[in-house]
A and B are shown apart, each in its own frame.
Chain A
Amino acid sequence: MSEQYRLSRPALLWQFIAIAVVVVPHLSHLPSWLLVLIVAAVGWRLMVHMGRWSFPHWSIRTLFSLAACAGVFLSYGGIGGVNGMVALLIAGFSLKSLEIHKRRDALLVVYVAFIVATSALLFDQSVWMAAYVLIAVQLTTAALLAIYQTHNVDMGRPFRTSAVMMMQAIPLMLVLFIVIPRMGPIWNLKMDVGSARTGLSDTMSPGEITNLTRSSEVAFRVRFEGKRPPQNALYWRALTYPDFDGRSWYRDEARERQPVPTESLMIQRPVLKYDLMLEATGSRYIPTLDMPLSAPVGVRLNPDMTLRLNLPLQKREEYSLESALQYRLTAQGEALNYVRELSLPIGNRRTRELARSWYAETGSGDAFIARLMAFYKSSFTYTLKPPKLGRDSIDKFMFETQRGFCGHFSSSMVFMLRSVGIPARVVAGYQGGEWNPYENYLVVRQYDAHAWVEAWLPQKGWIRIDPTAAVAPQRIERPSEELFSEEEDFLRDAPLGGLTIGRNSLLADLWLQWDAFSYGWQQWVVNYHSRQTDVLKRLLGEITPLRVALALLIPFAIVMCLVALKLFWRHWHLVRDRHDQALERLSQRLAHKSGLGRQPGETVKNYSDRVAEIRPDLALYMQEIAYCYEQMRYAGDDTGSSARRMLNMIRQCQTKV
């Protein structure tokens, strides 16, 4: 290994391919100056290779390195985050590519490329990204191979070899992936990956939810233990908004400290068990079906029976939950305890008056609610494109426009209820979901976001009321994509939105299958650490160090043997070939008798010529043997006649020797 190793042109090109391929997934978060730096560095190195420019002076390289460090530090506010680290690595290895003189420099670039390629998986764990990273690792391996090739140096061979090696490595990788036990995090790192997340927000202006209906992104997926509840019972509670400022509903953090009435939950069995895989929301809620019975680790159960995470959810997570669908949530007290759920800002006089007059007419909470629901059913229209509301928005909605969707209905209904002294709050969450028959799970997408009402009645406690169900019952009974498909705004922002419309089309079917696949991917690959114990128990019966070691060793031995067999097969095959053996015997005999052994590496043709010169009596046989050998080996003679003739000739020749 001479120190003056010069990188061949294909090796250098492979380096640049590897750099380009591993940088691509990071383009979205890299600052533009860094891209300029990469292109400049790679361009400069190419010019050096072509002999037009010379390597930059060390002072320039140092200057660039310092500038890149400072730039990363400024762009990312330190290098503590993953983004900053990756940016620093990328800056480092593109500058390093400027000083590839020796093999060691080239190796450094390749090794860092492996790390940069893998770090893309910290930002995106989809099937697509995984496939991309696999290809990136293969191309980087090709770059590594190119450094060492000395024979037929070209671009194609490293690629083919790396592809073959990948094929051989993937079974081993799978074995390691399945068997090697995962540890928990060694130290805690905060992920600052991405920021824009779709999901429910902490405030609800009546127009808000429309934004979500434009998105077909998956909110969460649920697998039920046992039978799934009917579509119209699928109310996924995520947040409640007790406070209203006249325009929007929210939860006022300042009022959180106020004493809350103690409530008791009475449930009726059976309870429903389910696993819910929640996509990263960047927020702290977990949607649950009606009343959750307990909170998973790291999650708090609020007094309003919603779950709240201690930290915002930055990556996909799976929760095992239990919910009661038949329940009674009640306070040991009276309506007046719910100061927060009764307070209303000034304004919207007409609505208040209407509520009071109706309450006076009906006399009870139940009857008042029934009247209200009847009113919604008879006079209101469900639409995703409601007219604008100005000041006194509730008045305007109730008496003038009368067109809107869940946000408007629930907002106005809570207002009406509070006006007559019934505690009420807006609940935000999701309603329904789409059943995937291929994998038997429910997928709930952002367009299933919904808002409804909970009211407190003295005998019943908190009850769920959904005014939208009165206006548009189909909204509750059918999946929203069916319902909204005519609406222009529906799924406006979804990239494939238009394709999913129409339940019976082939595309919709494929879409479901795709979702089933990606859900399986999430469950079995991305979240494998949470299932590994189960999988290993099922595979090994019982997890003992011996069995784990065997589970690793046996497949490894098998794969390694197969690879070795493939590599050495031709060698063994040649040795065992009976034609060669016969030839070898003849050569030995000739060596013994006339000192005419076949030299190593001597072709049969040359050998036969040499023998023929010294032993003219064998010339005819030898020529025939050489001819048959060439026919058999190189002319693709499959009939075997040449081979038979050759064996025959060798036998005759041997008797003459």
Chain B
Amino acid sequence: MSVLSFTLRTIREPFQRWAESRRPRGDSIELNQKRIFIFPSAAGGGFLLVALLLLLIGTNYENNLVHAVAFLLLSLFVLSIIHTYGNLSGIRVTAKESHSCFAGERAEFELHLTANGKRVRENIQLAWKGGTPQTVKAIDGDGCRVRLYHPAPKRGRLKPEPLLIESTFPLGLLRAWSWLEIESSAIVYPAPLQVQMAKSQVLDGADGGRQATDGGEDFSGFTQYQPGMPLRHVAWKAYARGRGLHAKTYHAQVDDRIWLDWEAFSGQPTEMRLSSLCYLVIQLEKHGDHYGLRLPGKSFEPDRGEQHRKRVLTALALHPGDRV
């Protein structure tokens, strides 16, 4: 068994390397004979069995007309090589926009497919490697836009897996396919992690000194402790009295300019910090607040609006992670 799988691997691996080295890359790729593979599909195997069965019947009954039908079916099979190939060749796949998403969601890539010549290409499946295929009903010279969703498990810059474009049209007997390395990317924001907006993480922009992150000056009260709150704000005395876990909150001089600071989450793992910040950004944007962000080596002045949000979230997404 292991010998067999080993043999299979030794055969398959160089082939895969070779196939991968031939994979076209770029943000706009046209399919041609160098890039299209073709092989009988399962349905084609069944069709060949039917033709073989007819040949057997024709042979046994010495019936030349049954032979003729079997040969006709075989001819159809051979012809459909050209037709299936023709259905895929000359399609140009162009990466258009990509849309950001949060980690754990699926990033949307917009592709533009055009067909050269006047032939309409029909029934084409598109899928990222390992993803579920999506059927494109028709592609003509004017082209069509396809939205493909790519799983985005991690934050950062998402480079899509190779794109599989395949078709068994018109008779379903052969499968023509091609792997394309689409050069496009999408920003995957950190997965938002719900945190209470502690005032300590939020600073007035006016005196935004670093020491301010150690806590505001004015104690204002207690609040239910939420994961993510700094441990040193926990009201241990209250906890010891059996009143549950509470956090002390401090008043900062709040106006509508809010700073989100990386350092406010110190003591937490990087990813958790980023996720919490991400959540806060979403919340603040939703409330229409002005907010700024300070990351090590980077800072964004308080602002609001879609552009700002995107910039800030992108910064969070691309923040270097912990290198092990």
Contacts and interface: CB of A to CB of B under 8 A. Distances in A.
A601 to B, nearest CB: 4
Contacts, number: 174
Contacts of B138: 150-152
Interface string A554-590: 0010001001100110110011000000000000000
Interface in B47-69: 47, 50, 53-54, 56-57, 59-69
Given A122-B61, A133-B65, A564 B82 contact: yes
Contacts of B90: 568, 571
A417 B64 CA distance: 50
Contact of B64 (A184, A191, A526, A568): A526
B118 A176 contact: no
A592 interface: no
Which of B75, B79, B82, B168 has the largest count of A CB atoms less than 10 A from its CB?
Answer: B75
Nearest to A572: B117
Contacts of B64: 177, 182, 525-529
A115 interface: yes
A543 interface: no
Contacts of A526: 64-65
Which of A133, A152, A173, A527 has the largest count of B CB atoms less than 10 A from its CB?
Answer: A173
A165 interface: yes
B71 interface: yes
Interface string B82-103: 1100100110101000000000
A568 B82 CA distance: 10
Interface residues on B, range: 35 or more
Interface in B153-170: 168-170
Interface in B95-129: 112, 114, 116-120, 122-123, 125
B123 A601 contact: no
Given A122-B57, A574-B116, A148 B135 contact: no
Contact of A173 (B72, B83, B169): B72
Nearest to A172: B75
Which of B53, B68, B90, B118 has the largest count of A CB atoms less than 10 A from its CB?
Answer: B68
B62 A185 contact: yes
Nearest to A569: B117
A601 B72 contact: no
Given A144-B172, A191-B61, A121 B117 contact: no
- Contact residues of A: prevailing secondary structure: helix
Contacts of B60: 185-187, 189
Nearest to A171: B75
Contact of B170 (A148, A177, A525, A571): A148
Nearest to A568: B86
A182 B63 CA distance: 10
A182 B116 contact: no
Contacts of B70: 118
A172 to B, nearest CB: 4
A639 to B, nearest CB: 23
Contacts of A121: 63, 65-66, 69
Interface in A98-142: 107, 111, 114-115, 117-119, 121-122, 125, 129-130, 133-134, 137, 141
B137 interface: yes
B111 to A, nearest CB: 13
A148 B168 contact: yes
B143 interface: yes
Interface in A404-452: none
A567 B86 contact: yes
Nearest to A532: B64
B82 A186 contact: no
Contacts of A600: 28, 92, 94, 112, 114, 143
Interface of B: 28, 43, 46-47, 50, 53-54, 56-57, 59-76, 78-83, 86, 89-90, 92, 94, 112, 114, 116-120, 122-123, 125, 133, 135, 137-138, 141-143, 168-172
Given A169-B79, A182-B62, 12 more contacts: A115-B53, A122-B57, A125-B63, A130-B65, A137-B72, A148-B171, A165-B76, A165-B170, A168-B75, A186-B59, A189-B60, A525-B64
16 contacts: A1-B133, A122-B63, A141-B171, A147-B172, A150-B138, A168-B75, A169-B75, A176-B74, A182-B62, A184-B59, A184-B62, A529-B62, A564-B82, A574-B117, A600-B92, A600-B114
Interface of A: 1-2, 107, 111, 114-115, 117-119, 121-122, 125, 129-130, 133-134, 137, 141, 144-145, 147-152, 161, 165-166, 168-170, 172-173, 176-177, 180, 182-187, 189, 191, 525-529, 556, 560, 563-564, 567-568, 570-571, 574-575, 600-601
Task: Give me the 6 closest cross-chain CB pairs, A-B, nearest first.
Answer: A151-B138, A172-B75, A571-B117, A176-B71, A169-B75, A150-B137
